[in-house]
Each structure stands twice: as structure tokens, then as C-alpha cells.
């Protein structure tokens, strides 16, 4: 007579049972609940993207409100501030969409999709640094 492995046997060897310990079916077509550690890691990544987005928005606001005007380039602060604020909003929305996409992949046991966020953020910050450098050179020339 075949016996069912106990919960302690499954905890020691997750491959011994039909599914991992603690895995529950979420719903029809929804897949199964992933290991909590992966869910928490995905949530921490989402929160890190939100911190990045908040930092970009605050940097844009600080530039617009606290940075002295560039001599000869009165619109210079806005040229730096507005794209940073817009980038912050974009990163916040994209971070949520990425979290949702990763959660779906985890539920279905699929590999996580590649994130476009690091590339977007790196390219945007590089462009902003170039614009800042040009503004500084332009303001020293127009003094």
C-alpha cells in the first residue's frame, strides 16, 4: 500500500510531493502561489524603483526651486528639472508594471522577463548629465 509523504518529508525535499510546501492554487489560469521569498524579493525591487522615482522627482523639484538661475540661461533650471520629474513619474509607473509582470511570471513558474528600466534610467541620466554640462558651459560663455 502506497503511503503519502508527510509534511516534514516534503519540507526536507520539495521535489518529493506534487508541489512545493505551502504552494496553493490561486485560481483557474492563475498558476500557483510562489515561494514567499520570491514574492518578497519582487516587492523589495518594486520599492527600490519607487525610491528611485521619488529621488528623481525630489531632485527635479530641488533644481527648480533651490538652484540659482544659470547666468544668461534663465530657462536652464527648468530644462533640468522638468525631465527629471517626468522621469520619476515614468519610473514609478514602470516599476509597478514590472512588479506585476514579475508576479505573473512567478505565479506561472516562468522565467522573469527582462527589465527595460535599468537601460532607460541609465540613458536618461546620461542625457541629463550632458544637458547639465552644456548648460554650465553655456552660462559661463554668456556671463
pLDDT single digits (tens) 44-98: 999 999 999 999 999 999 999 999 999 989 999 999 999 999 999 999 999 999 9
Looking at residue 33, its pLDDT comes to 87
The pTM of the full predicted model, rounded to 2 decimals, is 0.74
Looking at residue 29, its pLDDT comes to 57
> Higher pLDDT residue, 30 or 82?
82
pLDDT single digits (tens) 90-124: 999 999 999 999 999 999 999 999 999 999 999 99
- Contacts of residue 106, defined as CB under 8 A and 6 or more positions apart, other chains included, come to 34, 38, 39, 42, 112
| Band (143; pLDDT cuts 50, 70, 90) | confident
CA–CA distance, 141 with 71 (Å, rounded to integer): 9
CA–CA distance, 22 with 95 (Å, rounded to integer): 28
| Band (30; pLDDT cuts 50, 70, 90) | low
Amino acid at each position: 500500500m502506497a503511503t503519502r509523504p508527510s509534511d516534514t518529508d516534503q519540507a526536507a525535499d520539495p521535489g518529493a510531493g506534487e508541489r512545493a510546501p505551502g504552494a496553493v492554487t490561486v485560481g483557474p489560469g492563475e498558476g500557483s502561489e510562489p515561494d514567499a521569498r520570491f514574492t518578497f524579493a519582487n516587492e523589495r525591487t518594486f520599492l527600490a524603483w519607487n525610491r528611485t522615482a521619488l529621488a528623481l522627482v525630489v531632485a527635479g523639484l530641488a533644481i527648480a526651486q533651490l538652484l540659482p538661475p544659470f547666468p544668461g540661461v534663465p530657462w536652464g533650471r527648468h530644462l533640468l528639472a522638468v525631465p527629471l520629474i517626468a522621469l520619476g513619474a515614468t519610473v514609478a509607473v514602470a516599476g509597478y508594471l514590472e512588479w506585476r509582470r514579475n508576479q505573473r511570471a512567478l505565479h506561472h513558474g516562468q522565467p522573469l522577463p527582462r527589465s527595460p528600466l535599468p537601460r532607460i534610467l541609465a540613458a536618461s541620466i546620461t542625457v541629463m548629465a550632458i544637458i547639465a554640462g552644456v548648460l554650465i558651459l553655456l552660462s559661463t560663455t554668456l556671463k
